[in-house]
Structure 1
Amino acid sequence: MKARLKRCEGWVISSVFTKKKEPVSLLRYWTTRYLLTLAVGLLIVGAVSAYWIKYAAVEKQIEVTRLFAEEVADRVVDDEGNILVGDKLHQVLDNRRRFMGVDRNLVLFIKNSEGEVIYRRPGILPPVLEKTLPSLLERADTDDTIRQASGDTLYVIKENLEYNDNRIGKVILLFPETDIKIGREQLQYLVIMLVSLGILGWAVIYFHSRRLSEPIQQVVLSARKIVEGNYDVAITQPIQEREIHELVYTFKEMADRLRQLESMRTELLAGVTHELKTPVTSISGLVQAINDEVVSGAEQKEFLEICLRETKRLQKMVEDLLDFNSFAVGAITVHKEEQDISKLVREIASQWRIVQDLEIISFAVVIPEKSVTVFVDPVRVQQILTNLLNNARQAIGKAQADGSIELVLYETESDVRMDVKDNGHGIPAEEQPLVFERFFRGSNKKDKVRGLGLGLSYSRMMAKALGGDLMLRHSSERGSVFTLILPKRG
């Protein structure tokens, strides 16, 4: 029981840690993250701006106080070099202080040349300043700021009293940092600016994310339709972004391709069923007739020969399927060796001519006199060319009296090429992109020639395994040209 409980606890814990977070929408994901980033950025900007406003206010207060100190220095020294500190001095200075906007908590001292305080602005000083006044004045002679024990900071402004370039005293002004006021309008402007930027930034990223997510959402909805078996994807919204445009229209092309493949799969199922059913039905009927002794003698032998031909045809179809599947998964290998391609093509053409009824068809082989050596598998080359020649023969048909097939061998700088030309009925333009698809059978072949539609697809796979390619160069009502390309060195 305890062991079972431990296992349950372990399962619960592992489930908690391995549980994945549910994905969120693109709009919500990027809007939330941008909003958080924007908020952090605006907080930093706000902090830096507030610091700068305060710094500017301090600098302004210091500058105004310095001007006031200069004003005091000019007023307390007469034309004979005497320092005037009469009873009415503080009234004059207060008037000037209010006119210049200097803070009311300003502490003013005037010293003579011996360093004695001969004037102090009337008023009651805070007890802390009164107690430490001597030391403050001593420090004020050398420092621009004074840090008090309470943590407050005093700014010091000094201005010498001079007469005939001789220093006869000093004016000292002290004012606390806490009395420097930041204008309410400045803070209001800052708050309004930051809030406006936040709303604007959020609106911009929201609408842009929404616009970005719309085509992706269309792709998601279309993908769900494809999962349900509906391949009709209609995406008509114009898209400016190149990457999103490529994603959407590549997906649309994929959907079109899947629709084609699904149509081909349906046709394949019907075609393979029909092609395999026909010989089986024929064999079954003929064997039943022989078994019931409906026929005898020469007719019975003829029925057996027909059964044998149909059996071989059925066997060939099954072998084609097996060979194609084996080659598709790489189970069939190629054995390359040096070959005189001119000699090989001539032998293949000769063998094919022997087994064909070419009474009404002209067959020409054009091979250069120069010997060309290539590194190929001769068996695979023969399979490819034989299939192309058979297709050319089928394209001409039996009723065409002026039919012609031409096999042309030539070389380029990097490869050797073989063209198989015919003057048959050609391939319709809409079917040409599909001729190398597995199990595809053109409209001209479906009702005339039995088969599974694997010949050209199988041939192209063999050509690629040899390092070359097989392509349809041209096709029209006047005929078709297929080209086999083989590298000179494999």
Structure 2
Amino acid sequence: MSNNPRRSLLYYWSIRYFIVLLVSIVIASSAIIFLIYWDAKTKQRHGLEQTVRDVVAEAAERDGKLPQGAELGRLLDRHARENGLWDRSFVFVFDREWSLSEQFPSYAPFEAEGLIERLPPAAAGSVEIAELQSDENRLPYLAAVSPIRNAAGTTGYVAYLVQKETVLKTTPLEHRVLRFSIVAVAFIIGWGVLFLLTRRLLKPIQEAADAAKQIVAGNYRVDIDNSHDEREIHELMVSFKEMAERLEHLESLRNQLFLGVTHELKTPIASISGLIQAVKDEVVSEEEAKEFLEMSLKETGRLQKMVEDLLDFNRFAANSVTVTHRPVDLLAELNETVVRWKQAQERTSVQPTVETAGEGETWEVLTDPVRLEQIMINLLNNARDAMEEGGSILIRLHAEPSQYRIEVQDTGEGIPAEEQREIFQSFYRGEKKRTRTYGLGIGLPFSRLIAGSLGGDLALSRSGPEGTLFTLTIPAIHPLPKD
């Protein structure tokens, strides 16, 4: 096992949620800044283009000239405000030969001669925009150039310069503080929400962990809330509750097995010990001594049978027993099994009979006759134990297209309804069997395991005051015909 200390889910996922949230905020903030910059840039270019067109229109109305002095300043300010340009601007008016005719204001970051070399060529009716770096290494400028045209043609050119828009320049300090505050508040709220969600997720897991500790301590009656809205958590709680109930049931079966084995082994051992002790002390006659030894051998056989049953059941439960299939005549095999079973019985009043339901073409099938006999012996023994005196057992064989069906019907008192669901549980014994007959409670579970290994099944079809009916199915696998 690793010696690294395990962290709680609250810490483990909160840190990861924090990283996800932080990365998301950084990405979102970067995207917002980019969009703000792109929007400002687009609006500035659009406003610059429209302002140049307005100025060109003013110049065209005045034969390629613009007003002088303060009037020109007011004209430029009006067009700039209408088109969303608030920074200081510079206007150059050139004649048709690119000689400077007007400039406003008188001071500009570019000399006219140098500016002409940097300006892009302006086609008729178009506006060309270029980015220019000033000689003073300040922020770059955007220059828009458009020709002045009238009916006679191009009379000159207008160059309109404005400092390039940037996020840092156009966003005041208070706006940056506001955005930072919004991000901080969003971060705190997001962290709180994630913390609460993680705690909500942690609660049922902690509940399951506490229940597991109770189970380890031997308390299987745990109280688990399975009313959660989340599907996965609900399924976890339901499954955990079912597991606890199953473990409680298995623990009860283990106790029953321990008590049953202790009781069933103690009785014959005590009987054998008493009988042998009587013979040893010579308190019985010679004939009685022989009878006592015979009884001791019989009790020894009972002990041996119980041990063999336990070993066989364990091997089948672990799938460590191989089944050998060979051709078997079912009808003949059932008749022989009944004969051998009757010969081993002390009570001769129980009379089993075998009959067929309809006439099948053949009763030959590939199966394991030894395992089939084990199932039938268990069913016959159960039927015998269900009847006080007398009674009958009917074994009916049915042939179906895909399987053979063997029904074992007795005329006993039946199995109580509350016990019918438990009879195939390992080591389970009904109330009456615990007081009337010996056994370990593995006959029916063992028989069902064998039936499954043969490819079939064993089921309780019905049970009531008129008797009990068990049904054994075997796949109808016929041997290949001989050449």
TM-score by length of 2: 0.86
**Secondary structure at 1:144 match in 2:** strand
How far, CA to CA, are the matches of 2:195 and 2:410 in structure 1?
62
1:268 aligned partner, one-letter code: L
Residue 369 (1) aligns with residue 359 (2): yes
- TM-superposed deviation, 1:486: 0.9
Give a deviation string over 1:178-200, Cα, whole Å, max 9, x none. Answer: 56513668656755654555455
Aligned to 1:96: 78
- TM-superposed deviation, 1:173: 1.3
How far, CA to CA, are the matches of 1:308 and 1:185 in structure 2?
105
Q: Is the 8 A contact 2:64 2:148 kept in 1?
A: no
How far, CA to CA, are the matches of 2:229 and 2:402 in structure 1?
42
Q: 1:165 to 1:469 in 2, by over 3 A?
A: farther
How far, CA to CA, are the matches of 2:152 and 2:208 in structure 1?
87
How far, CA to CA, are the matches of 1:363 and 1:489 in structure 2?
27
Q: 1:201 to 1:265 in 2, by over 3 A?
A: same
Q: 1:422 to 1:240 in 2, by over 3 A?
A: farther
How far, CA to CA, are the matches of 1:61 and 1:178 in structure 2?
7
Q: Specify which of 420, 436, 440 is matched with residue 448 of structure 1.
A: 436
Q: 1:293 to 1:354 in 2, by over 3 A?
A: closer
Aligned to 2:412: 424
Q: Is the 8 A contact 1:145 1:153 kept in 2?
A: no
Aligned to 1:136: 115
Q: Specify which of 303, 308, 327 is matched with residue 316 of structure 2.
A: 327
Q: 1:136 to 1:24 in 2, by over 3 A?
A: farther
How far, CA to CA, are the matches of 1:212 and 1:312 in structure 2?
60
Q: Is the 8 A contact 1:57 1:182 kept in 2?
A: no
RMSD: 2.9
1:92 aligned partner, one-letter code: R
Residue 119 (1) aligns with residue 96 (2): no
Extract unaligned runs of 5+ from structure 2.
Answer: 122-127, 479-483
Give a deviation string over 1:289-347, Cα, whole Å, max 9, x none. Answer: 22222223333333222222222222222222233233333443222101121222222
1:138 aligned partner, one-letter code: E
Q: Specify which of 237, 255, 260 is matched with residue 248 of structure 1.
A: 237
How far, CA to CA, are the matches of 2:301 and 2:187 in structure 1?
80
How far, CA to CA, are the matches of 1:263 and 1:242 in structure 2?
31
2:282 aligned partner, one-letter code: E
Q: 1:419 to 1:315 in 2, by over 3 A?
A: same
**Secondary structure at 2:97 match in 1:** coil
2:116 aligned partner, one-letter code: L
Residue 166 (1) aligns with residue 156 (2): no
Aligned to 2:88: 105
Aligned to 1:51: 34
- TM-superposed deviation, 1:284: 1.4
- TM-superposed deviation, 1:358: 6.2
**Secondary structure at 1:37 match in 2:** helix
**Secondary structure at 2:86 match in 1:** coil
Give a deviation string over 1:368-420, Cα, whole Å, max 9, x none. Answer: 4322221101111111101101111101123xx5x332211113332111111
Q: 1:252 to 1:82 in 2, by over 3 A?
A: closer
Aligned to 1:313: 302
For residues 12-51 of structure 1, the aligned pairs below 5 Å read: 21-51=4-34
For residues 379-458 of structure 1, the aligned pairs below 5 Å read: 379-398=370-389, 403-458=391-446
Q: Is the 8 A contact 2:118 2:132 kept in 1?
A: no
How far, CA to CA, are the matches of 2:181 and 2:461 in structure 1?
70
Q: Is the 8 A contact 2:268 2:303 kept in 1?
A: yes
Q: 1:184 to 1:161 in 2, by over 3 A?
A: farther
1:426 aligned partner, one-letter code: G
Q: Is the 8 A contact 2:90 2:162 kept in 1?
A: yes
Q: 1:374 to 1:153 in 2, by over 3 A?
A: farther
TM-score by length of 1: 0.85
**Secondary structure at 2:436 match in 1:** coil
Q: Is the 8 A contact 1:139 1:146 kept in 2?
A: no
Q: 1:82 to 1:302 in 2, by over 3 A?
A: closer
How far, CA to CA, are the matches of 1:486 and 1:256 in structure 2?
33
**Secondary structure at 2:470 match in 1:** strand
**Secondary structure at 1:216 match in 2:** helix
